[in-house]
Structure 1
Amino acid sequence: MGLYCIHYHKICIKMSGEPNINQREVDTNTYLQRHRILDLFNNMTSLLIYNKPEEPREFLIEQLEKLKVAQQSGMYYPCLFDESNLHAIFGMLDPTKRGFISKDQYCEALKTIGVKDFELLPTGAEIDKITIDTFLREAKKGLAKYSATFKV
């Protein structure tokens, strides 16, 4: 009989007297990565902490239902950041309202909000001027991928 314990970024498997422990750990990690289980847990935990609902179980059920609808329709993914948050982030990076930010600001902002996969050389990068439209498009696309917790 085994004892499985899930940590946010690592799975540990303790099996008494069973050989092939390493293969079980590899299989478990592969399964969790393929199905994005840890991403799902991290996203749901973040939503819980941010929203602090009175009924956390019901809140999680609602979020999972939204996720299911999103998977079927491609419309909305439960996420901490909405468009107004993204506008605010861009505004902080462009306090003089020039209408653009640098490529470095763009990259750092996306990484900071959890977007891992984004266009490194978007329109405007060649002149170091990333517009809000480009920033919003890449942020939304990246957040959808991250928040979906399934393959998009």
Structure 2
Amino acid sequence: MGPKVFETAAVCSDPARHDVSLAHKAGADMGEELQKADEYLQKHRILELFNDLCASLCFHKPGDVRGFLLQELQLREREGASAGNFEDAEIKAVFNLADLMQMGVISEVQARKALLSLANSQKQKEDVEAIELPPEIDETIFLQKAKDALQFR
């Protein structure tokens, strides 16, 4: 029994082990700080905002990037994060992709999948999932539902 007590005392008094335990504790603190930062980013949807802004930049390709970003942020402040970036022709193209048989109508399931493909934020996805759709949807109704659910400009 005596030698084990000395071994334990030696381990606890070993300076190298003390440094390792401090580094481990610092790593745990750093992990906790990273977790807090990640929670903050998720809570305020910062990564989603940056993704939306980058998508809007790529879509519009403005000459004055800073001015454009300022306008986009002001728009989001007024209208929320759900303003869309697609034009009518692009929405109609998505409808036509869903209407593979070229019947002029698609089912509610096809329409919802097509609308989800246009959603570029979590809020838009939630709005698409919540929107009421008729069993069959033509291009005109699809265009209107896209504008309603996704709040396209």
TM-score range relative to shorter protein: 0.5 to 0.7
What is the CA–CA distance in structure 2 between the aligned matches of 1:26 and 1:142, rounded to whole Å? 33
What is the CA–CA distance in structure 1 between the aligned matches of 2:73 and 2:36, rounded to whole Å? 25
Per-residue deviation, 1:28? 1.2
Which residue in the other structure is 2:91 paired with? 86
Select which of 124, 128, 131 maps to 2:134: 124
User: Per-residue displacement from partner, 1:85-107 (whole Å, max 9, x unpaired)?
Assistant: 32342244347764420234213
Counterpart contact for 2:59–2:85, Cα < 8 Å: yes
Unaligned runs of 5+ in 1: 1-16, 148-152
Runs of 4+ in 1 over 6 A off after TM superposition: none
TM-score, length basis structure 2? 0.60
Aligned residues: 123
Per-residue deviation, 1:23? 2.1
User: Per-residue displacement from partner, 1:29-79 (whole Å, max 9, x unpaired)?
Assistant: 2211111111110011011111211221111112112222224xx9x82x2
Superposition RMSD in Å: 3.4
SS across alignment from 1:130: strand
Instruction: Identify the range of structure 1 (100-109 vs 44-53) with the bigger mean alpha-carbon deviation.
Output: 100-109
Q: When you count strand as a share of all residues, which structure comes out higher? A: 1
Unaligned runs of 5+ in 2: 1-25
* Cα 1:130–1:121 shift into 2, 3 Å: farther
Which residue in the other structure is 1:143 paired with? 150
TM-score, length basis structure 1? 0.60
Q: When you count helix as a share of all residues, which structure comes out higher? A: 2
1:86 is aligned with what amino acid? I
Which structure: larger Rg? Answer: 2
Counterpart contact for 1:100–1:130, Cα < 8 Å: yes
What is the CA–CA distance in structure 2 between the aligned matches of 1:64 and 1:30, rounded to whole Å? 22
User: Per-residue displacement from partner, 1:130-151 (whole Å, max 9, x unpaired)?
Assistant: 344653455335434xx9xxxx
What is the CA–CA distance in structure 2 between the aligned matches of 1:134 and 1:23, rounded to whole Å? 49
1:57 aligns with 2:66: yes
SS across alignment from 2:129: coil
Identity of aligned residues (%): 29
1:22 aligns with 2:31: yes
